[in-house]
């Protein structure tokens, strides 16, 4: 009799070639195949492994497909978001961007703008935690806007977030009132680093959501320069950045007359979020 424990052990051995967390991946996929929580299957390790779609899910993971795409959803800021390829999978580092906004958005009338919303995880998390804020989120991809709207409905904030399609600020009306907070997790990977990225990223996720020129700062430059006219004086700009980019981005901010630059580290101690005040 092949038990659940046997199934997990064999799968973990096969997955070791494509992931740093083979046992965890195996448990997540088997939980999905059996429509049971991880705690549930771990409590039944000696039980016979029932028929399931586990092998099909396992083969997809062995081809380096992200688990989020296999499951069709992923957790971010304690909420579950629908995810469809090739939208960027929500990452734990980006939760620090949400925290930076929530620390600022205490006023009931705070106007928040997110550029490049993807799944909508940032905008929806902000609206869920600050329901009296006015949140606007943009993305250049129509399919991503539709996905973000689904996630907003899923979490009951569809009336609290306006989604607009367009390239950065082009999605907004020309005479739109200035925002109190502008946030973004923009593309920031150097184009020359693409071939060195993990296959789980390179083969599945949207290249345009990751790469931003030779130094990785092409989109950040635009956000900083064009964002000044979209923020009220003293309004907060919060951007996710890559490892080692803090000083270069801080210089860009200072050259554009932003003040009070600061940073937030991720759990690895990397300066992941840079903040500044608009002139």
Which CATH number is associated with domain 73-277? 3.40.50.150
DSSP 3-state of 88: coil
Mention every residue, 6+ apart, whose C-beta is less than 8 A from residue 253.
224, 237, 261, 274, 276
Q: What is the pLDDT of residue 175?
A: 85
**In 3-state terms, what secondary structure has residue 232?**
strand
User: Against a cut of 0.75, is the pTM above it?
Assistant: yes
What does the pLDDT read at residue 214?
96
pLDDT at 47 (0 to 100):
85
Selection from 84, 85, 154, 86 nearest residue 123 by Cα: 154
Please, what is the angle between helix 22-34 and helix 54-62, to 10°? 140
CB 230 within 8 A of CB 169: yes
| 255 CB-near residues (< 8 Å, 6+ apart) | none
Nearest alpha carbon to residue 187 among 171, 201, 173, 172: 201
Q: Please report the pLDDT score of residue 107 as a whole number.
A: 67
User: Quick one: tokens of 185?
Assistant: 């997790």
User: Which ranges of 17-104 does DSSP label H, i.e. alpha helix?
Assistant: 22-34, 38-42, 54-62, 67-71, 95-104
pLDDT along the chain (279 residues), means of 10: 92 95 95 90 87 93 96 97 97 97 86 98 97 96 98 96 97 92 98 93 95 97 97 97 97 98 95 97
Q: What are phi and psi of 189, to 5 degrees?
A: -90, 135
Q: Name which of 3, 79, 89, 74 is nearest 32 in CA terms.
A: 74
Q: Where are the domains of the chain?
A: 4-63, 73-277
Say what the pLDDT of residue 278 is.
Answer: 97
Q: How far apart are CA 141 and CA 270, in angstroms?
A: 30
Residue 124: helix, strand or coil by DSSP? helix
What per-residue confidence (pLDDT) applies to 1? 84
């Amino acid at each position: 009799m092949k038990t659940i424990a046997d199934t997990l052990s064999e799968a973990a051995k096969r997955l070791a070639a494509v992931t740093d967390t083979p046992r965890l991946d195996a448990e997540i996929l088997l939980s999905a195949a059996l429509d049971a929580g991880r705690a549930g299957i771990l409590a039944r390790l000696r039980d016979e492994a029932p028929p399931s779609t586990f092998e099909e899910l396992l083969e997809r993971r062995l081809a380096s497909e992200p688990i989020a795409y296999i499951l069709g959803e992923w957790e971010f800021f304690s909420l579950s978001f629908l995810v469809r390829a090739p939208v960027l999978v929500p990452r734990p580092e980006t939760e620090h961007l949400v925290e930076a906004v929530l620390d600022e958005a205490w006023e009931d009338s705070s106007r928040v703008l997110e550029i490049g919303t993807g799944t909508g995880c940032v905008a929806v998390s902000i609206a869920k935690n600050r329901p009296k804020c006015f949140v606007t989120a943009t993305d250049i991809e129509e399919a991503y806007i539709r996905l973000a709207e689904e996630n907003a409905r899923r979490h009951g904030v569809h009336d609290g977030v306006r989604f607009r399609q367009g390239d950065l600020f082009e999605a907004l009306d020309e005479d739109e009132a200035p925002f109190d907070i502008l946030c973004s997790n923009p593309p920031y990977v150097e184009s020359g680093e693409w071939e060195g990225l993990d296959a789980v990223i390179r083969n599945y996720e949207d290249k345009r959501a990751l790469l931003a020129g030779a130094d990785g700062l092409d989109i950040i430059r635009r956000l900083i320069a064009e964002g000044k006219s979209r923020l009220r004086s003293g309004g907060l700009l919060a951007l996710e950045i890559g490892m080692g980019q803090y000083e270069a981005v801080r210089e860009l901010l200072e050259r554009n007359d932003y003040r009070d630059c600061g940073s937030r580290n991720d759990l690895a101690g990397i300066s992941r979020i840079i903040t500044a005040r608009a002139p």
